[in-house]
Amino acid sequence: MSKNKIVKPSTLPGFMELLPEEQILMNFMRDTIRKNYEKFGFVPIDTPVIEKSEILFAKGGGDTEKQIFEIKRDKNDQALRFDLTVPLAKYVALNASHLTFPFKRYQIGKVFRGERNQKGRFREFYQCDIDIIGNEVLDIANDAQIPSIIYSTFKDLGFDKFTIRINNRKLLNGFFEYLEIEDKAMVLRTVDKIEKIGADKVKEELMNEGVLESKCDEILNFINIKGTNEEILKGLTNLNIENENFNIGLNELDEVCKYIDAFGVPASNYQIDLTIARGLDYYTGTVYETILDEYKNIGSVCSGGRYDNLAGYYTKQKLPGVGISIGLTRLFYQLREAKILKDPTTKTLTKVLVVPMDEDKKYSIEVASKLREAGIISQVYFDSGKLKKKLNYANKLGIKYVIIIGEEEKETGILTLKDMEYSNEFKLCVGDIIEKIK
Amino acid sequence: MSKNKIVKPSTLPGFMELLPEEQILMNFMRDTIRKNYEKFGFVPIDTPVIEKSEILFAKGGGDTEKQIFEIKRDKNDQALRFDLTVPLAKYVALNASHLTFPFKRYQIGKVFRGERNQKGRFREFYQCDIDIIGNEVLDIANDAQIPSIIYSTFKDLGFDKFTIRINNRKLLNGFFEYLEIEDKAMVLRTVDKIEKIGADKVKEELMNEGVLESKCDEILNFINIKGTNEEILKGLTNLNIENENFNIGLNELDEVCKYIDAFGVPASNYQIDLTIARGLDYYTGTVYETILDEYKNIGSVCSGGRYDNLAGYYTKQKLPGVGISIGLTRLFYQLREAKILKDPTTKTLTKVLVVPMDEDKKYSIEVASKLREAGIISQVYFDSGKLKKKLNYANKLGIKYVIIIGEEEKETGILTLKDMEYSNEFKLCVGDIIEKIK
């Protein structure tokens, strides 16, 4: 092999590849998300990474199409999925007759987007999605359950201070209908800047866009409704806006808030926020964002909402749904950058390293097997060398316990257990070691 | 949306996409494999699906290159990985200074090969790999540990009758050197057919290929060494072959067998098999195959071996290793085809469905939350409708318990728990329900 030309090893830019100690943390996060999704009764699906282009782009065009990773192979036009929503729509349309509705599925998998190369932007990243899909109808109480799943998940991820922001698109749309504003997107975009640039600037920009001053005031008045959720709901009611969509939306928001309490989400962790809108042409009812209170600049770490029809491009069956997505790769990256993720104290999952002191490793192997049978992750150090080198291996990996096995230990069955953290030693039999470690 | 042209939903041929009830089984298998890999002290890595083509094809050419999924994007030549070994080699070469050797890693992920379209062949499939990588050296005891991991994994997957077949490439190579046979590959290919076509036909084919009759007899004599592992080792010793490689290989095989016992693998689950060779230009020492005794036609379900140098194409550092791979997608497919996988009795992970009988769902939500807190996967049925429809939902999904909540239940706190399997009912408070279900 030494005669080969050496290819310099590298990983493509924009692709996350972690060291094992980081990967252990990442997996902990992924497992935590999965466990929470399952706890609420969602079932797994695992659609292919590669799909037909006609499926991926049934909706047509847009930025996503420019970011696509196309496959050069076969006659079929194929590409890598850019989200898990389009594959879900295809899946439900394809398998509808085998599914039981409401269909509650989760999917955790990699998606691909040819983002411009810049720090914190990934071209391959994990999305962790849940959706509840109804057949023709889907009760509003489902919208109230979503925040409880977000709450439970982020609590388990170790966060206390986070806010699930909730709004309703019907309420927003109705409000704009009432004001007879056509370019809702522009208004939403402008209003979205209020935290950054302040109310006056927002008004100025709106007027520059041709919105009448009286309407600007009504808009600012609307998004200035603040307070507890109850106060906001009351404030919205007091606007006395005569518009059907507005009032349906208000009613939905009211229902959602009523049930969120029952789901056990503390009032401090959710908040009606009239400025959030999410994807403009997709969501049609409740929308969610989740903000880490102490790291607001990270932006939303979990977003989603209610939509009228999941799979209109693939089936005539009407499939309303509600769902959220956690962009895990980006979240992990941001938590690490913000030093919220603690540096790993261990590079391993191993609890015990068994170190044989002579050539006969049998006894050491048996000890490690017994520990594993008791559920303690253990490995034997097989390479020859001095004790110092062997202990160094445990130290480098952060393995907490080392068991040293020489002639005497084999004869007596009394083993030396070294606690590497506190560097003290115990003389114990295997059974007692298991007891002690557990 | 109804005005859209409908694109017929479909999944590309050769791509596995399971219904949720099957996916639950598949995930169980994947989790079991992962749990076992972790139990033996392996740490996770997760390399990108997309790599530079120059990395993937550093070794150059071959069938794999014809099967590649290339990416049409950017200037960089990019393609989808076709195994997890090449990415591992790159990873170790790239990160060697951050890793602690012996480096024990597992990776479970999808790989991609443009296989010809046929039943049971997949273009996207999971590989579940472990490898132990040494820096310059790697003790032979590691080779003995691998069968214990295979054993533990397949036991946990629910198998009892399987055989881990073990051989040694140095032994084979030395034997051919001793016979002065050049075309080892041809001999191995021919010998491999012995179970199918019998010894006479093998001899005939070998002679047709120009192997002297006396040598054919020695070959058949060699592969006819049968019996217990001890007897085979004795039989090999008794051949008295004076060839260095042969004797190194024999010694390695002897060591491996000695330690396998210590690792607790029953003698009935492993067997020296002098006919197996695995990848001809890759493995250099111990090789493994795993056969389900009652389904031999499935072929090997877990294979691997020892290699001298993992990453010769990317670094001058010598990195010997030993590893195995389980082709999970194919395994799942074959177990299902062979009806070894039982039909799922449930389409859900949910244990309890809470059914509110009136419009006020608060109490039902609270009950489900309490069950979840106690670790019982629960969901509330939110859609309106008759009780029959709601119970039908539980029946269709195979949810074992239903709790029905009406006015009386809310007042008294005494709930009706229906066991859908035995169709009997109990009147219990939430605490007792948790007790009963647990």
CA distances from B76 to A14, B50, B51 (A): 13, 11, 10
pLDDT for position A423: 86
Q: Are residues B313 and B364 in the same domain?
A: no
Decide if B145 and A100 are in contact by the 8 Å CB cutoff. Answer: no
Binned at pLDDT 50, 70 and 90, residue B2 comes out as: very low
Q: Is A385 exposed, middle or buried (0-12, 13-18, 19+ CB in 10 A)?
A: exposed
Q: Are A89 and A123 in contact (CB under 8 A)?
A: no
Task: Among A2, A3, A11, A99, pick the best mutation site for testing chain B contact (most B Cβ within 10 A).
Answer: A11
Q: What pLDDT is stored for residue B60 in this prediction? A: 76
pLDDT at B3 over 60: no
Q: Does one domain contain both A282 and A365?
A: no
pLDDT at B159: 94
Q: Is residue A251 part of a domain?
A: yes
Residue B5 falls inside a structural domain: no
Low-confidence ranges of chain A (pLDDT < 70): 1-4, 61, 279-280
Same domain, B251 and B362: no
Looking at the fold, whether A226 and A101 belong to one and the same domain comes out as yes
| Residue range(s) defining the domain that contains residue A57 | 20-337
The CA R_g of chain B, rounded to the nearest whole Å, is 28
Is residue A285 domain-shared with residue A380, that is, in the same domain? no
Q: What are phi and psi of A322, to 5 degrees?
A: -145, 140
Q: How far is A52 from chain B (nearest CA, A)?
A: 7
Nearest CA in chain A to B140: A382
> Taking a C-beta distance cutoff of 8 angstroms, is the pair B355, B390 a contact?
yes
CA distance A120 to A329: 9
| Complete edge-to-edge strand list for the sheet that includes strand B124-133 | B43-44, B103-112, B124-133, B321-327, B303-307, B286-292, B162-168, B270-272
Cβ contacts of B105 on chain A, cutoff 8 Å: 20
Q: Are residues B332 and B392 in the same domain?
A: no
Residues A276 and A332 in one domain: yes
The pLDDT value recorded for residue A280 is 61
B240 and B214 within one domain: yes
Number of domains chain B is built from: 2
pLDDT tops 70 at residue B61: no
Average pLDDT, chain B: 93
Structure tokens at A129: 């999605």
Q: Are residues B373 and B241 in the same domain?
A: no
CB contact under 8 A, A314 and B124: no
Mean pLDDT of B323-336: 96
Q: Answer whether residue B103 is part of any domain.
A: yes
A352-356/A378-380 β-pairing: parallel
CA distances to B179, B188, B210, B211, B224 from B182, in Å: 9, 12, 11, 10, 21
> Do B392 and B357 fall within a single domain?
yes
Other CB atoms within a 10 A radius of the CB of residue A173 amount to 18
Give percent above pLDDT 90 in chain B.
Answer: 82
Residues in chain A within 8 Å Cβ distance of B369: 148, 262-264
- Per residue in B358-390, pLDDT (tens digit) is 888 999 999 999 999 999 999 999 998 999 999
Contacts for B200 with CB less than 8 Å, ≥ 6 apart: none
In B, which residues are within 8 Å of A111 by CB distance?
A: none
Same-domain pairing of A188 and A79: yes
Last residue of a domain, one of A311, A337, A363: A337
Count of Cβ atoms closer than 10 Å to residue A285 Cβ: 23
User: For B217-272, how does the pLDDT look when each residue is reduced to its tens digit (9 = 90+)?
Assistant: 999 999 989 999 999 999 999 999 999 999 999 999 999 999 998 899 999 999 99
Q: Which residues of A touch B80 (CB under 8 A)?
A: 71
Q: Looking at chain B, how many residues does it have? A: 438
Task: Residue B42: give its domain's CATH number.
Answer: 3.30.930.10
Are B93 and B137 in a shared domain? Answer: yes
Which of A3, A8, A136 is most worth mutating to test chain B (most B CB atoms within 10 A of its CB)? A8
Q: Nearest CB to B9: which of A55, A142, A258?
A: A55
Q: Is A241 helix (H, G, I), strand (E, B) or coil?
A: coil
User: Which of B9, B99, B380 lies at the smallest CB-CB distance from A314?
Assistant: B9
User: Given A112, A309, A393, which is nearest B100 (Cβ)?
Assistant: A393
How far does the CA of residue A405 sit from the closest CA of chain B (Å)? 15
Identify from B10, B30, B34, B46 which residue to disrupt to test chain A contact, counting A C-beta atoms within 10 A and taking the largest count.
B46
The answer as to whether A84 is a domain residue is: yes
Tens-digit pLDDT profile for residues B125-142: 999 999 999 999 999 999
Where do we find the tokens 């935290």? A195
Classify residue B427 as exposed, middle or buried by CB count within 10 Å of its CB (0-12, 13-18, 19+): exposed
Q: At which residue do the structure tokens 């290919």 appear?
A: B189
In a domain, A347, yes or no: no
Which of A303, A337, A371 is the last residue in one of the domains?
A337
**Residue A403 forms part of a structural domain:** yes
Q: Is residue B309 part of a domain?
A: yes
d(CA A36, CA A8): 41
Domain boundary (B314, B337, B360) is at B337
Domain membership flag for residue A2: no
**B396: chain A residues, CB-CB within 8 Å:** 100
Give the pLDDT band (50/70/90) at residue B392: very high
CATH code: domain of residue A376: 3.40.50.800
Mutation target to probe the A interface, by most A beta carbons within 10 A, among B29, B36, B43, B366 is B43
What would the two tokens of residue A392 be?
A: 């160094």
Distances from the Cα of B291 to the Cα of B85, B139, B152, B280, B365, angstroms: 22, 26, 15, 20, 49
| pLDDT higher than threshold 50 for residue B1 | no
What pLDDT is attached to residue A1?
43
Q: Given an 8 Å threshold on Cβ–Cβ distance, is B49 in contact with A93? A: no
| Secondary structure class of A429 (helix, strand, coil) | coil
Kindly report which listed range (A46-50, B9-13, B274-278) carries the lowest average pLDDT score.
B274-278
Minimal C-alpha gap between B309 and chain A (Å): 8
Q: For residue B170, what are the CA distances in angstroms to A51, A96, B245, B253?
A: 44, 55, 5, 10
Q: Do A397 and B100 touch (CB under 8 A)?
A: yes
